[in-house]
């Protein structure tokens, strides 16, 4: 039997209109534009400020963009996976809210959370439904409203994160393109260094947790930076070696947009020049689950059928991974 392979056949994206620049942050915390740029590569990030709008609303905009470009309707979707650490609420799943807002009850769906690695995990999971032959069209969405859980009095974290959403459509490949291989990893020993301490069953919301500001992102920067740099680069190099890919064979590195120095180190270990590295961190910051699909959305017109892409990510928990994708279309 011929193996069915999942291919990315379309992308969509959305970022809010409101821009939070480094200069704006200078008025909130003790920091400055030069320091932020030199340490992270971020100049500005987008913030969803409209009252009553949440992660699902950004996801809906991204999916509508995708469907419009592909000439599809919401009922054409078989499954929708939302990758996010900021769902609208603990339950019901925000994937269900997204399909409802799209005006359909045909697709089933669920949420997947793996910090900044959520989208890559979700892409791998979505591909299994295509490969099994049980689903023809799977939409994988990465959407996060990080501004809802960022402490804008904490200069260590508020400079990093922004809001946004991106998505891809997975369909059975009609040729030798598609998702070729993936290496995914996790290590729960990293939970204490990058987490949202309260809000779950261990530390439910209380006056004490709110007063202690435990519902915001906490990050121990030096430890996270060191672990992310080493492991994202290592797994990206490994997937190249496992698939006999040289630096010349790889057209694009699609890395998680957490810190430009981490991205630069990963490219260096892979032997890739800067012109092969996709980056939009300077405009969006770290949008967590949305970084990888937003890169594909931003650079879609530069991607050519048959291009070899290496997707790489790292997230809290710790989670990390890399994926080898052979691009399936010209836009």
Catalytic residues: 116, 256, 286
Residue 298, CA atoms < 13 Å, CB-side half-sphere: 18
Ranges assigned E (strand) in 173-263: 178-186, 194-195, 218-219, 252-255
* Whether 137 contacts 77, CB under 8 Å: yes
**CB neighbour burial string for 141-175, b if at least 16 within 10 angstroms, e if fewer:** bbbbbbbebbeeeeeebbbbbbbbbbbbbbbbbee
Output the CA torsion sign for 66, 121, 205, 145.
negative
* Whether 315 contacts 112, CB under 8 Å: no
Q: Which of 235, 225, 125 is nearest to 170 (CA)?
A: 125
Rounded to whole angstroms, the Cα distance separating 11 from 172 reads 15
Q: Which of 171, 325, 163 is nearest to 236 (CA)?
A: 325
Beta strands 108-112 and 138-145 are: unpaired
* Whether 171 contacts 130, CB under 8 Å: yes
Residue 117 C-alpha from the chain's centroid: 7
Rounded to whole angstroms, the Cα distance separating 169 from 200 reads 31
Rounded to whole angstroms, the Cα distance separating 195 from 178 reads 33
């Amino acid at each position: 039997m011929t193996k069915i392979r999942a291919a990315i056949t379309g992308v969509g994206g959305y970022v809010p209109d409101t821009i939070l620049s480094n200069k704006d942050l200078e008025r909130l915390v003790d920091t400055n534009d030069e320091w932020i740029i030199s340490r992270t590569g971020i100049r500005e990030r987008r913030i969803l400020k409209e009252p009553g709008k949440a992660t699902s609303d950004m996801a809906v905009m991204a999916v509508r963009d995708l469907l419009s470009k592909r000439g599809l309707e919401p009922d054409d979707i078989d499954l929708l996976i939302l990758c996010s650490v900021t769902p609208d609420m603990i339950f019901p799943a925000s994937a269900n809210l997204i399909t409802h807002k799209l005006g359909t009850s045909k697709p089933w769906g669920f949420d997947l959370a793996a910090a900044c690695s959520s989208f890559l995990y979700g892409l791998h999971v979505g591909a299994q439904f295509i490969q099994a032959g049980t689903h023809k069209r799977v939409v994988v969405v990465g959407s996060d409203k990080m501004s809802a859980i960022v402490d804008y009095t904490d200069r260590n974290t508020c400079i990093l994160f922004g809001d946004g959403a991106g998505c891809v459509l997975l369909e059975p490949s009609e040729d030798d393109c598609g998702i070729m291989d993936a290496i995914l990893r996790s290590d729960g020993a990293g939970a204490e260094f990058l987490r949202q301490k309260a809000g779950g069953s261990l530390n439910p919301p209380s006056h004490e947790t709110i007063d202690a500001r435990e519902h915001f992102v906490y990050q121990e920067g030096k430890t996270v930076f060191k672990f992310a740099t080493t492991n994202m680069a290592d797994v990206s190099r490994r997937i190249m070696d496992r698939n006999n890919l040289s630096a010349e064979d790889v057209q694009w590195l699609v890395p998680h947009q957490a810190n430009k120095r981490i991205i630069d180190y990963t490219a260096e270990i892979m032997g890739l020049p800067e012109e092969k590295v996709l980056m939009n961190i300077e405009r969006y910051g770290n949008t967590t689950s949305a970084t990888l699909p937003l890169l594909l959305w931003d650079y879609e017109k530069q991607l050519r059928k048959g291009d070899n892409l290496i997707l790489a990510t790292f997230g809290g928990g710790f989670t990390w991974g890399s994926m080898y994708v052979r691009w399936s279309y010209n836009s």
